[in-house]
C-alpha cells in the first residue's frame, strides 16, 4: 500500500522583519519510508504502518506535537484527511509543519484487505467487546 501525505511547512523569522515562508509538498510513500530529513540527515517523519484509511506516523524528537503536553511516544495514528501540527523551536527560525493524510492506494497486484479489528498494544484497555464484533474506542481530540 502507498500513502499520499501532504506536508505544509511554515517558517517564520525570529527577528524583524518576521518574514513568513509557506511551502507545501506532497509525498507518495510506503511503510518504512522517510518523508523528510532534518539538517543532520536524520528522519523527521517516518511511515511506520499503513492500515486501511490511516497511517502510523513516527516523528523526530526535535519536533513537538502542538496541542499536547510532552507526549511520551513519538508516533501517532493519522486518519484520512486529518491534520496534525508539529513545531521545532531549535532551528534558526520558528518552524511549524502540518502533516495531512490525503489518500491510501493499493500497490500494483495488491489485493484489498478489510481494515483490521485487532487491538494494538497502544489500544489495549480501550476496547469494548460486543457479541457481533470488536469495536475500538478512540477518544476524540
Chain center to CA of 30: 13
Q: Which residue has the higher pLDDT, 106 or 126?
A: 106
Calpha distance 16→9 (Å, rounded): 20
Instruction: Specify the CATH class of 2-105 in words.
Output: mainly beta
Whether 9 shows a pLDDT value over 70: the answer reads: yes
Residue with cell 501525505: 5
Structural domain boundaries of the chain? Answer: 2-105
pTM above 0.85, yes or no: no
The model's pLDDT over 43-74, given as tens digits with 9 standing for 90+, comes to 999 999 999 999 999 999 889 898 876 667 89
When pLDDT is cut at 50, 70 and 90, the band that residue 132 belongs to is: very low
Tens digit of pLDDT for each residue in 78-120? 999 999 999 987 777 889 999 999 999 887 645 444 444 444 4
Instruction: Specify the 3-state DSSP secondary structure of 28.
Output: strand
* Confidence label for 36 from pLDDT (cuts 50, 70 and 90): very high
Q: How confident is the model at residue 122 (pLDDT cuts 50, 70, 90)?
A: very low
Sequence-separated (6 or more) residues with CB below 8 Å from residue 95: 9, 10, 11, 12, 87, 88
Amino acid at each position: 500500500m502507498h500513502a499520499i501525505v501532504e506536508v505544509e511547512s511554515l517558517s517564520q523569522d525570529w527577528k524583524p522583519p518576521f518574514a513568513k515562508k509557506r511551502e507545501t509538498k506532497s509525498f507518495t510513500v510506503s511503510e518504512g519510508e522517510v518523508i523528510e530529513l532534518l539538517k543532520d540527515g536524520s528522519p523527521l517523519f517516518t511511515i511506520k504502518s499503513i492500515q486501511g484509511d490511516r497511517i502510523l506516523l513516527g516523528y523526530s524528537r526535535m519536533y513537538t506535537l502542538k496541542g499536547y503536553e510532552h507526549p511520551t511516544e513519538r508516533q501517532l495514528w493519522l486518519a484520512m484527511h486529518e491534520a496534525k501540527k508539529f513545531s521545532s523551536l531549535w532551528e534558526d527560525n520558528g518552524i511549524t509543519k502540518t502533516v495531512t493524510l490525503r489518500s491510501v492506494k493499493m500497490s500494483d497486484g495488491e489485493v484489498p484487505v478489510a481494515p483490521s479489528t485487532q487491538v494494538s498494544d497502544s489500544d489495549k484497555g480501550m476496547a469494548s467487546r460486543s457479541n457481533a464484533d470488536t469495536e475500538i474506542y478512540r477518544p476524540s481530540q
